[in-house]
Structure 1
Amino acid sequence: MKMENDIFHKIFWWSSSDSDSGSGSGTHRKCCRPIEKIVPTTTGVLLIFLFLFVAGMCFSSGWIDSSILSGISYPKQNQETTSKTPTITQEFPLRCTIGNETQTCPRDYSTTNIVRLSNLTCPSYFKWIYEDLKSWRETGITKEMVEKANKTANFRLVILNGKVYVEKYRSSFQTRDKFTLWGILQLVRLYPGRLPDLELMFNCDDNPVGRSPNEGPPALFRYCADQWSKEIVFPDWSFWGWVETNIKPWNQLLDEIVEGNKRIKWKDRVPFAYWRGNPNVGRKDLMACRGSSENEWNTHLYVQDWRKESRGGFRQSNLAQQCTHRYKIYIEGWAWSVSEKYILACDSMTLFVMPRYYDFFTRGMVPLQHYWPITRDNKKCASLKFAVEWGNNHTDLAQKIGDTSSNFIRDELKMDYVYDYMFHVLNEYSKLLRFKPTVPPGAVELCSETMACSANGIMRKFMEDTMVKSPSDSSPCNIPPPYDPSTLEEFIEKKSNLTRQVQMWQHESQNINKTQ
């Protein structure tokens, strides 16, 4: 296995100045005594107060030194301190009043706030924003291109002068549209007045919309895409909570998963591959990989019945308590799955059944560095079995893949970067518009109050837990420049080669077993 170790090494390479105003000099004491003699009357007392008031105004403004007043010394302030303007944090509370739950939207968080420039560079997966918008780089995005996406969109979003307007066309599955819009509203609160005017269509379904080869791509936002659809990917609703499955907002759940990882050391975890989910959404073939006495595939696979879980209070679906195995399986459903980020955060080596679809962040991840690639054809059971055997024979390397994956999720997919990705993809999109956005007649203004004040139960709780209460004091991270074509080609080829390397190891292992 020396060759394998060499490959892994290559992958992972990848106030003394205040003394003059001390106890007061004799001159200072003399300057005070004449006042007592000259103005002993009531009028004199008033003049003393007037003198002290004027003098106080003078030294507080920096016109005179404080040490000339009485014999009392006042330390001089550093010039840098006195020249700074104090930072005042403006807060945007949720303004709900009894009997007026759908009040009009406040006006004080749509104006530009003064911020410092960020010194952070965004994670490298932000480069894919340029690739997602490449289809319109030459032509720009016309009004007709946006209108063409109306056929499948759930809503039209317009941002104009810092205000958000929505025209809804059709309901989404569950509360996807509501929490997607809620996330956009929080982005506006985080960076008030910073988002440009724009107009877009958004689809909340799983599967990307197919298109004819002779048609240009519709200007359509959604949660995932594939190489044929070319839609613009955007963070999904579950970052702000998934009400129907009781999955908490990402900022809370990520912390809980990080804590959950500490409960069982990696080498003390169950040495099998774990998956729990709904197999009835395109994953039935995975259930053929369940272990049995006749055919053991090194897997622990469980069916998740969400209706039963809902009735039982979701006791078996706490994601922070599912980091118990050395290996966890990610597999798509009808399309990409929101389970992806929860699995990758678990410190386990993720067995990534190679996907057809991509979301906004996983394109920056690399096989054998962040995950172990699993074939998605009819040999996936054998591929899973080999992956577990390989990991149990190379525990240090398998654990390192799990650590690298969870570190990536913890450090580069925290909510700060989720919001910054949203900002940059909307900002870059707006640069391509060849028309002036307008508010359509059927649109309504949307704000946190119009959504959260009328909500109740867990929906209201998730909205309150994720509400941005004050604007950021810095600008978004700095988006890196786009890939040049040759570098992007090399990156994609590198990922393909590493996947083929795993397949070669598996093939060699099977041949050895046959000869024994």
Structure 2
Amino acid sequence: MNVLKGSAVTCFLALLFALTFVVIFKRWSEELWKENSIAASNLYRPEFNPNNNKESATVWQQITKAKQSIDCSCKAAQISSLLPKFTFPNNKIQSPGNNSESCPFYFKFIRQDLKPWEKGGITLEAVEKAKSKASFRVIVINGRLFVESYHHCFQTRDLFTIWGFAQMLKKYPGMVPDFDLMFNCNDKPVIRKDDYKNAQPPPLFHYCGSSYTYDIAFPDWSFWGWVELQIPPWDRLVQEIRNGSQRIKWENRDPTAYWKGNPWVSPKRVDLMKCKKSPNWNGKLYTQDWVKESKEGFRNSKLSTQCVHRYKIYVEGNAWSVSLKYILACNSPTLLITPEFHDFFNRGLIPQHHYWPIKPNKKCESIKFIVNWGNNNTKVVKEIGKAGSDFMLNELKMKYVYDYMFHSLKEYAKLLKYKPTIPKNAVEYCSESILCFVNNVEKSYMQESLGKSSMYSSPCIMGEAESDSKDISEFLERKKEIIGNVIQMENSKI
């Protein structure tokens, strides 16, 4: 009887201990997500070693790392960090210096994207309505960055996007007004115009937009590097591609059109692959096997070694594709299949100057025509390749990426009808705190962009708002006319 009693007490105590552990662990987990959401989600991203083999970590190793990440607050991280620090004057917004240069033309689309809220402004209720479609919320108050996470983003999109916000604040200390916004990190824009014919849409920032959505286009994470594919930060990569493009003179390159990528993410790409069956269509298409590439250390996918064809093809993926800037930088004429989506900069590209437009419904014939025509008019098409490459180097340099972020957020903040406050579950982030919890490869990418963002300069100067609509209207009309001329050329087989 005593034995049974002792067993029962032992079982009870064991059960009580287990329940206590579960409750404490659950509370700790919830606090971790609340206190350090991006840090917590980063635990389950694979660590990489120098040989690019994924290292597995036990649950307890993950828990240990999570505990460490709780101490990665801005205050704690800054104390132990040697990074340069900036102080942010309370409620004092400094003005750009007088020595600023004019912004590139595509900055005019900033106010165009914000037109739906131009008259009525943006209320807290409108921002909250976007929450159901947002991945995270970004708040800046007195130069301090806060983030509230709602769901995990693919790979490290959220991590490097937030890093970009932190670098922009570091680059322009005391100049960024308070704001509160929702951000979607998925592929396709989601605020459809058809759903808001008689109502104001909720404002939502996104990596791309379209003619049938209200999503506000904003620079994507890849400008600070795409760790999973070992694609370095844009500042370094654009120079690497530029240097790589000079290894083979354009006249000596393969006189065909080239595309390499994953065709299975988009019907548009599957349709492009059908061109392989067209006789003498003047193109070479290759399927990119990312799984195989990752196992081989991405030896065969270096973007700086892919400038060996006279022409390069751009086709969208599931939505817009970050590959456009890599393709344009190659100093080969970009054969751009008419896109459905736009990112923040491609609306400033001019057909027949920065790229050659390709009809989406007759891709194979259109590509065959321009390659034949271009190989007989080399001086003309060579200049198109140069103009596209120069645009990437000069008008899409990282300074302008930060400037676009700055002006987009500044114009957005002007429309807010309320004073932003810090949400209950928001966490403060800064360069130091992010570097505290990322893995070694992520840290190396971030540190590369850190030094550049720390160099203070004035943002470029945008033109007057009154002229934007007229300038954009004339610009789009010009593009339409040029594309019409190209179609006429193809139809008459000039």
Pick aligned residue for 1:460 from 432, 443, 449: 443
Structure 2 distance, partners of 1:207, 1:390, is 35
Which string of whole-angstrom CA distances, capped at 9 and with x for unpartnered residues, describes residues 223-272 of structure 1? 10001112111100000000111111101101101111111111111100
Q: Could you say if the C-alpha distance between residues 349 and 437 of structure 1 is closer, same or farther in structure 2, counting changes exceeding 3 Å?
A: same
For residue 110 of structure 1, report the CA deviation from its aligned partner. Answer: 3.8
The secondary structure found in structure 1 opposite 2:140 is strand
Give the aligned partner of residue 232 of structure 2. Answer: 248
The reply to whether residue 381 of structure 1 matches residue 381 of structure 2 is no
Which string of whole-angstrom CA distances, capped at 9 and with x for unpartnered residues, describes residues 301-345 of structure 1? 100011110001001110011011110000101110000000011
Give the aligned partner of residue 198 of structure 1. Answer: 179
Task: Give the 5 Å matches for 1:408-419.
Answer: 408-419=391-402
Q: Could you say if the C-alpha distance between residues 317 and 469 of structure 1 is closer, same or farther in structure 2, counting changes exceeding 3 Å?
A: closer
Give the aligned partner of residue 20 of structure 1. Answer: none
Task: Give the 5 Å matches for 1:127-142.
Answer: 127-142=108-123
For residue 118 of structure 1, report the CA deviation from its aligned partner. Answer: 3.0
| Residue identity matched to 1:284 | V
Pick aligned residue for 2:462 from 479, 491, 495: 479
Q: Could you say if the C-alpha distance between residues 486 and 444 of structure 1 is closer, same or farther in structure 2, counting changes exceeding 3 Å?
A: closer
The reply to whether residue 284 of structure 1 matches residue 270 of structure 2 is yes
For residue 354 of structure 1, report the CA deviation from its aligned partner. Answer: 0.4
For residue 460 of structure 1, report the CA deviation from its aligned partner. Answer: 1.5
The secondary structure found in structure 1 opposite 2:210 is coil
The secondary structure found in structure 2 opposite 1:373 is strand
Give 1 or 2: higher helix fraction.
2
The secondary structure found in structure 1 opposite 2:347 is helix
The secondary structure found in structure 1 opposite 2:154 is coil
The secondary structure found in structure 2 opposite 1:297 is coil
The reply to whether residue 111 of structure 1 matches residue 81 of structure 2 is no
The secondary structure found in structure 2 opposite 1:149 is helix
Give the aligned partner of residue 224 of structure 1. Answer: 208
Structure 1 distance, partners of 2:306, 2:244, is 8
Aligned-pair identity in percent equals 50
Pick aligned residue for 1:339 from 323, 335, 341: 323
Structure 1 distance, partners of 2:220, 2:314, is 17
Q: Which has the larger radius of gyration?
A: 1
Q: Unpaired runs of 5+ in structure 1?
A: 1-97
Q: Could you say if the C-alpha distance between residues 437 and 468 of structure 1 is closer, same or farther in structure 2, counting changes exceeding 3 Å?
A: farther
Q: Could you say if the C-alpha distance between residues 381 and 470 of structure 1 is closer, same or farther in structure 2, counting changes exceeding 3 Å?
A: closer
| Residue identity matched to 1:401 | I
Structure 2 distance, partners of 1:486, 1:194, is 29
Give the aligned partner of residue 351 of structure 1. Answer: 335
For residue 193 of structure 1, report the CA deviation from its aligned partner. Answer: 1.6
Give the aligned partner of residue 44 of structure 1. Answer: none
TM-score normalised to structure 1 length: 0.77
Q: Could you say if the C-alpha distance between residues 210 and 191 of structure 1 is closer, same or farther in structure 2, counting changes exceeding 3 Å?
A: closer
Does the Cα contact within 8 Å between 1:114 and 1:473 map onto a contact in 2?
no
Task: Give the 5 Å matches for 1:60-139.
Answer: 102-105=72-75, 106=78, 108-112=85-89, 116-139=97-120
Q: Could you say if the C-alpha distance between residues 178 and 470 of structure 1 is closer, same or farther in structure 2, counting changes exceeding 3 Å?
A: closer
Does the Cα contact within 8 Å between 2:259 and 2:284 map onto a contact in 1?
yes
For residue 281 of structure 1, report the CA deviation from its aligned partner. Answer: 0.9
Does the Cα contact within 8 Å between 2:108 and 2:472 map onto a contact in 1?
no
Task: Give the 5 Å matches for 1:272-311.
Answer: 272-282=256-266, 283-290=269-276, 295-311=279-295
CA RMSD of aligned residues (A): 1.9
For residue 103 of structure 1, report the CA deviation from its aligned partner. Answer: 4.3
Does the Cα contact within 8 Å between 1:190 and 1:468 map onto a contact in 2?
no
Question: Is the deviation greater in 209-218 or in 447-456?
Answer: 209-218
The secondary structure found in structure 2 opposite 1:453 is helix
The secondary structure found in structure 2 opposite 1:328 is strand
Which string of whole-angstrom CA distances, capped at 9 and with x for unpartnered residues, describes residues 260-311 of structure 1? 1111111111100000000011111110112x6x712100110001111000
The secondary structure found in structure 2 opposite 1:494 is helix
Which string of whole-angstrom CA distances, capped at 9 and with x for unpartnered residues, describes residues 426-474 of structure 1? 0110000000000000101111122112212321111111114774443
Structure 2 distance, partners of 1:370, 1:115, is 30
For residue 204 of structure 1, report the CA deviation from its aligned partner. Answer: 0.5
Count of matched residue pairs: 410
Give the aligned partner of residue 142 of structure 2. Answer: 161
Give the aligned partner of residue 49 of structure 1. Answer: none
The secondary structure found in structure 1 opposite 2:341 is coil
Does the Cα contact within 8 Å between 1:117 and 1:474 map onto a contact in 2?
no
Does the Cα contact within 8 Å between 1:157 and 1:165 map onto a contact in 2?
yes
Structure 2 distance, partners of 1:335, 1:497, is 26
Structure 2 distance, partners of 1:99, 1:143, is 31
Give the aligned partner of residue 23 of structure 2. Answer: none
Pick aligned residue for 1:432 from 393, 412, 415: 415
For residue 481 of structure 1, report the CA deviation from its aligned partner. Answer: 2.4
Give the aligned partner of residue 46 of structure 1. Answer: none
Structure 1 distance, partners of 2:221, 2:250, is 31
Q: Unpaired runs of 5+ in structure 2?
A: 1-67, 80-84
| Residue identity matched to 1:109 | F
Does the Cα contact within 8 Å between 1:186 and 1:467 map onto a contact in 2?
yes
Structure 1 distance, partners of 2:177, 2:401, is 18
